Structure formats: structure tokens, C-alpha cells
Structure 1
Amino acid sequence: MTDRVFSSLSRHASQNPEKIALRSGTRCIAYRSLAAFLAHNAKTLAGPARVVAISTSDPLEAALADLAVTYSGHVSVHVPPFFSRSQQAHLVEAAAVDTVIGACEAPVMTLGLCPPEACPPLTALLDPPVADARRIIFTSGSSGAPKGVLIGERQMAAALAGIEKAIAPGSEDIHLSLLPVAQLLEQVAGLYLPLLAGAEVHFCPEALAALFGGPMAPIVAAMASARPTTTILVPALLSRLVSELRTTATQAPDSLRLIAVGGARTSPALLAEAQAHGLPVHEGYGLSECCSVVALNRPLDTRAGTVGQVLDGVEVRIDDGEIIVSGPTVMEGYIGHPPVTGEWRTGDLGRFEDGRLIVEGRKDWLIVTPQGRNINPEWVEAALCADPRIPAAGLYLAPDDQLEIIAVLAAPVEPAHIETLLSDLPLYARPSRVRFAPASQAGLLKPGGGIDRSQLAHLSKMLACFPLSHDMKECVA
């Protein structure tokens, strides 16, 4: 992977030196400056492979550090800016971090990189990168001690090749980076893939706040000014973006050709409304353990209700309803655990239809009612998330054996409207009550999409309960 990406970057720096590679606000870094940055900081990072944590909430700085660490053959570990202190401490200990770029309370060596603007010009082609760079990805999960996924060059190379064939990036592309660089999907498809193609990556620092319920206006403004061709969203962010466009009577820029969305199930109704507002959304499916992308709906070849065709080079089979992945994108393993060989059981339920993968939800989230009915919560939750004012929802079987649903609100919604949204479901799958939580509530929304299910029991005790009837008054989050 590193050979191909960095040789392409070197070629772009030679053939089109003033082309912008990375942009954030008024700060622009051309391909020539980016190549010089890598060459100069390779001296600082020279030496045996070490585990380098990248700890910054600035997406441009995180991207630069990732590129420098990878080019120099080290192990990169992003510290997600949304992690708690205890999760950060666990990350540092579990990954055996010995060096940190950025701010970190851990008692390890801190390293500063020379910024691109201060690096001397590169007078020759960029040297080949140091081989065998790796990255450890800590997903937010639902516990205080998430596992670290070890991804090597083999996994990155295979994922890049598969995504490249699926979406055909070009040098004219402008990728609007909205997800944190700490997420593997954004690293693969939002940083390395555009640079491989000679495209521009445009960062939006305000997107981190929006991801957790903050204002959406900065993202709409970034879209208008950057006029991107591609971006990646999670369903909750897509829902809020559609709501913002609807509220402001705005259309998305016509420059967009692909918006990839994944991380949780997306309602077909939400996808349809997104298309109506000029958002060319294509659902995909993947997980960090398989280098983020397993299947994707292609531009000009998408089918609602599916996550598209499996990427070239990746193999998927269904065993007793469970999605099983094999091939070169499967991780090396969890750090501190035995290496993974062969297939990876995803824990996700799915099936194929006309060669396209349909994901039906998590196997371990299945709810079995006292009446013996099996209900996949994502099926019910997707009905609520068809309304952009409800970026996420969580179905919960309460201790009294009643189904209730917690709706995360970005704008006021009436309980009677919840009843309407659920009306197409069979009676056994309809919750008997609803509770409302604001989208801005800390820790409620997961960065990979959806609600943090570990909070459902607590929220059930703390939030007001509304029976699902048409007699209730308006409820404001």
C-alpha cells in the first residue's frame, strides 16, 4: 500500500506541484509541499519501528501525522477526540504506545513535526517509504475498554484497490472530509484514496461537533464553498444534513457525484429524501476488522435496501444468516490476542439478493419478546430514522417485557408522529411507548453511526415516557 500511494504522491508533486492536496479553512498544502513535509520529517521519525499515538482534534494535523508516521514505517494509533480519559489511557496501555504526536497526558515521549510551510523544498523525487507500516484502530464500542484492530499494508492495499475500482476516483475530485481521521474508513477512503488519485482533501473541523449533535450550518457552508465531489457520512449525520437542507430550503451542490454512507442501517425513506435534496447517497457496509469496506453501491449502479456488491478481492458467504468475510482485507488480529487466519465471522446478519448484499442487523442485538417473536431492532429503528429530525433511535425490551423506543431528536417531534412512522410495522414489532432524548446529549450518538446501546437501560429509567397514542401533546427534546 505505502509504495503505491507514496509513489503516486511523489509523481503528483513532480507533475502538478501546485495542485492542492490538503485544505482546511485558509490553510492549503500543495502536493509539492506535502512531499517535502514527508521527506523532511522522515529524518525526525527515522529509526526502528515504534508505536506512535496521534492525539489531536484538528483533522488536518491528524492527517499530516498519519501520513508521516506511515511513510516512515511505524505503527500509527489515532486517539479519537471523542474518547473519554479512561478510554484514552486504555488505548495507550493496550497498544504499548511509546511516542505521541499532539497533546496527551500519558507519560511517553512527545514528538513534534515540522509543518509543511516550514519544510525546505524537495529537489528530487520522494524516496520510497519504509515498508511494513501498520495502524491500530480502536473503535468506540460500548465499553470503557475497546479492542485494538491491527491493520497492515496488505489489508490497506486490498481495501484501496477494491474501493478504487468501485468508485473510480480522479484528480479532479474534491473530497470533503467530515468524519474524524481517527476512523479507519476516513483514513482509507477519505485520505489515502484521494491522494492516490491526485485529488484534493478538504477538511471541515466543525464536523466533529456536528457529529455529536452540534450545529449543521458549518457543514452546509463547507459544501457550498468547497463544492466537493465526494464525502462519507454516517446515517445520523446524513439525517441531520437532510433536515438542515429542508429547513433552509437549500439544495446540495451539483458538484457531488458520490456520498458513501455506512456504519448503521439507513432508512429507504431517508435515502429518497436525500436524493431529492441533491445528495447522491450510496449505502455501503463494512467493519474495522475487515479494513472498513466490504460492499458498496456503485455510482450509476445502486439499489435501495442493499449495500451493493462485494468489493473485488473480498469474499463473503452467509452461514446460518451470519455474514462471513474472507480475503486480504481481514485484519491481522486484535492486539493482545492470537492472529486471525482465514475467515472472519462479523456477527452481522445478512443475505444476498441478485448478487447484492442486504444487511439485516447485529446477531447479538436480536430481541426475543415474551411471545417468542424475534425482532431485529435496526428494522424498527430505521422506520423512525426516516424522519431527518430523528437522527438515531434505540429499541429496548424493558424489564416489564414491554417494547419501548428511545428517539434521539434534532428538532421537536410529536409522539403521535412516532405512531405514524411505525404504522407499517406488524403489531408485534411496534413499541408501546417512546422516550425522547436530545441529539446534543453527550455520549449518546456513536461516531460510527447510531445510538450507544449501552445507554438504553439508563435512558429508560431517566427519560419521560409517552404512550404511543394520538392524544398526546407535542414533545420537545
Structure 2
Amino acid sequence: MKPVFEALARHVATRPEIVAFRDDAKIVTWADLSTRVVDLASRLAGAPNTVGIALAGGIDYVVADLAVTLSGRTQVPLPFFFSNEQNAHILMDAQISAVIALDASLFSALPHIEVIDPTFSGNEGPSMPEYQGGAERVIYTSGSSGRPKGVVIGDRQLDASLAALSKMSGATATDRHLSILPLAQLLEQICGIFLPILAGAETIFRFDATKALFGAPIKPLTDTFFTELPTTSLLAPSLLGRWVADLELRSETAPDSLRFVAVGGASTAPSLATSARAVGIPLHEGYGLSECCAVVAMNRPGESVVGTVGPVLDGLDVKLENGEITVEGPTVMVGYLNGDPAPARWKTGDLGHFVGNRLVIDGRKDALLVTGAGRNISPEWVEQRINADPRIVSSALGLRDADGFLVLVVATAQSLPVEKIARSLADLPDYAKPTEVIFVDPAEPGLLFPVGTPDRAVAKTLINTRAALPLPNLETIESLAS
């Protein structure tokens, strides 16, 4: 993180009054940002070594992140999209006794926790001291089942990732990044805070746009792209699909200010990627995971190939072991909190293959379905086709215990005929086609993670307990139509 603080000091010295970050409530220049970071870091002098961050996002979050890092402490985000039970687990697992928050009442039932207000105290302190290093952050992943696990990321991982991504993305001071994903996620910390600081670029936060990720109307997100005219942004596939559909409905194309829109966190259907480009979105698919500091491979500007997540980042060695993606290099995590150090080569649990030097993701190893006939099916292969429809928020394919039939759980934003599902799956071989479908609300408790991917354990329960609708085959649909 030393290069980030060196860049911040450089901006303060050479362009102090240039705007660095904007959110819904305020604007900070590079000089303002430095003052606030130093102020909060000084107030953390007597705080415990581990500090939680209980902020939804925006400039206050940026200040908190940088201040905790500058103070040499370990920071632990408490995601606003996690359940109370999940955040209670984080507080206990990370042994957090101090939290940065705007609302102290959130912790009124926990008197042992000190609440630190990130608001500027008004004291003009000294200039920013040199970062001494050694700070870590613990990013809790929601995982596919069980309690969240804390991924420990330090300077080595972040510095290597930032160096590779800065070179890959071509970021400059003329960029304007629209930050959509929550800052509690490592990927948006990198893309929404650190890369812009390194480049001297401006970052914009608009929470109404972020709320679209959780099912709120898409209009504020589309409008924000037009009013703010960013050059870069980062989206989840489910949000991309809704944005594309909204642009198509408006008969509009994305603003031509955009030069780089990254999408990751889940598989993107090739048809959706093609539709995105047709409405002027310069889409670049990538792949990564928190355990490898968020990004492993990414399509480069001007060299994006649909259906792939691009070449591996510089400095990383990716090998396939029985089809599983493994990663060795400086971005591999320190380890899980309260666990053993990470091995030199990390087994990701993801299946993939290479087309030339470009990585293609085939799905999760632990999600692989084995039918009664002995066929192996990656559910993502089937789900991609469904998720390309903007009316569908997410889907999950699974096997029903009672009869071994393939059943598809579909979370829809609006009603959808079963015939539409059947047509979307028409090109699949018969062994991979589900026989039934279960429609659910996107707000189904526990079903969806923030990036829109399904919790397969919850989907499995739904498959075994909910009534399903038969999914007609294409021949039946065509005979009925005639």
C-alpha cells in the first residue's frame, strides 16, 4: 500500500484542490482527503489492533479504509448486505472491540465495542506521515455454505495486484470511475479507491445506483451513467443484464465517455456480453476470488474476447490440475483468519480451460452435478442461458433427491412463461435440460449472494421442498403454437 500513500501525497503537493472523490453528500479534494485520513488515523492511536468498518460506502468509507491502513492496524469490513447473524460472527471471529461507524446506536447492545466516528474532527493536523507498512485487511466471504471465512490480505498481495491492474487497465488522471459495487468487497476497494488514487483519477459514489444491485429500480443506475459520464466502472453480471435491458427499452446506447467496464463475480452469458457491446458498453470480463486478491485474469482494453476472462495477470502462474484452476504468485492470500497460512499454490475450486492464452471458466468444482446416468454437468453452463434474460435475476440448477431429476430454480424480477425458459435451453443436449422449474422471488431468504450468484445449499432445499412446474420441450411448444 506504500505506492498508494505516496501517490496521495504527490497529488496533495501538485494538485491539492482537484476533486478526488464525490458521493451523495459531499466532495473531497486531494488535500481534503489527506487531512481527513491523517485526522482519523491520529484518533486511532489508542484503538485496538483490529478495527471494524461498519459503513455503507462513500467518502467516509474511503477515509476509514485509508486511516486504518495508515495506522498499521488490521481492518475488517462489516458488510451492510450481510445478515445480523453473519456480522455478529465476524465481530466474534475477528475479536473486534472497536468499530468505525456513523450510527453508534447500532452497537448499543454491545457495550464492550468502542464506536469511532469517521467525521472530520476539525483539527488540522500535520501532513501525511510515511506509511510504515504491515497493515492487513480481513475480507469475509459469504461462501457457498456455513459461516463467513476471513481472508487475510496484506501489503504484498495488494501491491502486486495494483501493479498488474494499473498496467492492464491503462488508468490515468483523466479517468472518472463510477463505483457501484459495495466497498466492503475487496474488488471495489481496489477499483474504487486504490487504483484511482494511484492514477490521480476521480471516483463517484451514488448509492441509488448501488441499491440496484439488490433489486431496487435500475433507472437511477442508468441515469447516473448519463449524468456523471464516467470512463470506467465495475459491475456484476445480473446488474449488467438489467442495465442492457433498460438501455434497449430506452432505445439508447451507453455514454461514449466509457472506455472500460469490467464485469466479474459470476459467469456472464456470451449472449449478454454481445448485447452489452451492441448498446455501446465496452465490456471486459474478468475472473478472480478474494483468496487471490480479487483478480486473476482480465480481458485487456481493446483486446476483449467474449466467452473468456482474458489472459492471466502479470506475475501470476495459473495451472490446471484435473481441470481445476490453481494460482501461484504474490497475490495469493496470507491465509484464512484463525487458520493455517495459505499454500504457495492455491486451489481455487473453479474449473476452467485455456483457449490460447485466454482463460475460460467452466464452473465451480463443488457445484458439479452428476446425474443418475453418470453425466457430469456444470450448472453454470445451463444457468448462463437463463440469466441472459433481464427479467431473471439469477438461477440455480440442481438434482432433486427423490428422483434425481434436474430442476431449475429461477429468481425473477417479473413473471415469465415456462415456454421462455424452455426456448432458452433449446440448444442444450437432452441430458443437461431440466425437467421442471421453480419460480421464486429474488428476495427469497438466503438464496442470492450480493453479486447475484445463488447459494446452492438454499437452492437445493427449495428443489426438495417446493412445488415445481413441468418444463415443456421445444417440440411440445411448437405443436401447441401450431
- State TM-score, norm by structure 1: 0.94
CA contact (8 A) 2:68 2:75 kept: yes
Task: Give 4+ residue runs of structure 1 displaced > 4 Å after superposition.
Answer: 120-124, 461-464
Q: Distance in 2 between the 1:419 and 1:156 partners? A: 44
1:61 aligned residue? 60
Aligned AA for 2:309?
Answer: V
Aligned AA for 2:66?
Answer: L
Please say which of residues 383-392 and 262-271 is displaced more in the overlay: 383-392
CA contact (8 A) 1:49 1:73 kept: no
Please say which of residues 242-251 and 25-34 is displaced more in the overlay: 242-251
CA contact (8 A) 1:173 1:228 kept: yes
2:200 to 198, 201, 221: 198
1:110 counterpart = 2:109: no
- SS of the residue corresponding to residue 404 of structure 1 reads strand
Q: Deviations over 1:292-318 (max 9, x none)?
A: 000000110111111000001111011
Aligned AA for 1:292?
Answer: A
Q: Distance in 1 between the 2:53 and 2:118 partners? A: 15
1:150 counterpart = 2:149: no
Residue 187 of structure 1, CA deviation = 0.7
Please say which of residues 65-74 and 449-458 is displaced more in the overlay: 449-458
Please say which of residues 161-170 and 63-72 is displaced more in the overlay: 63-72
1:451 counterpart = 2:450: no
Residue 249 of structure 1, CA deviation = 2.8
Q: Distance in 2 between the 1:226 and 1:459 partners? A: 41
1:434 to 422, 437, 440: 437
CA contact (8 A) 1:369 1:401 kept: yes
1:345 aligned residue? 347
CA contact (8 A) 2:210 2:221 kept: no
Residue 459 of structure 1, CA deviation = 2.4
Q: Deviations over 1:228-255 (max 9, x none)?
A: 1111111111112112222333322111
2:284 aligned residue? 282
1:128 to 127, 130, 150: 130
Aligned AA for 1:401?
Answer: G
1:405 aligned residue? 408
- State TM-score, norm by structure 2: 0.93
Task: Give 1:3-152 correspondences, 5 Å limit.
Answer: 3-47=2-46, 50-102=49-101, 103-104=106-107, 105-113=109-117, 115-116=119-120, 119-120=122-123, 124=127, 126-152=128-154
Q: Distance in 1 between the 2:361 and 2:141 partners? A: 20
The structure-2 alpha-carbon separation of the partners of 1:36 and 1:382, relative to structure 1 and needing over 3 Å to count, comes to: same
Task: Give 1:348-363 correspondences, 5 Å limit.
Answer: 348-363=350-365
Please say which of residues 391-400 and 105-114 is displaced more in the overlay: 105-114
1:466 counterpart = 2:465: no
Q: Distance in 1 between the 2:111 and 2:150 partners? A: 20
Structure with higher RCO (Cα < 8 A, 6+ apart): 1
CA contact (8 A) 1:321 1:350 kept: yes
2:314 aligned residue? 312
Residue 461 of structure 1, CA deviation = 4.9
Aligned AA for 2:10?
Answer: R
Residue 216 of structure 1, CA deviation = 1.1
Residue 222 of structure 1, CA deviation = 1.5
Q: Distance in 2 between the 1:348 and 1:114 partners? A: 39
Q: Distance in 2 between the 1:254 and 1:49 partners? A: 47
Aligned AA for 1:222?
Answer: T
CA contact (8 A) 1:179 1:208 kept: yes
The structure-2 alpha-carbon separation of the partners of 1:244 and 1:213, relative to structure 1 and needing over 3 Å to count, comes to: same
CA contact (8 A) 1:169 1:194 kept: yes
2:163 to 161, 164, 172: 161
Identity %: 44
Q: Deviations over 1:172-208 (max 9, x none)?
A: 1111111110101001122111111111111121244
- SS of the residue corresponding to residue 164 of structure 1 reads helix
CA contact (8 A) 2:372 2:404 kept: yes
Structure 1 unaligned regions, length at least 5: 473-477
Structure 2 unaligned regions, length at least 5: 478-482
Q: Distance in 2 between the 1:90 and 1:40 partners? A: 30
Residue 70 of structure 1, CA deviation = 1.0
Q: Deviations over 1:14-62 (max 9, x none)?
A: 2111111111125111111001111222211125861000012243322
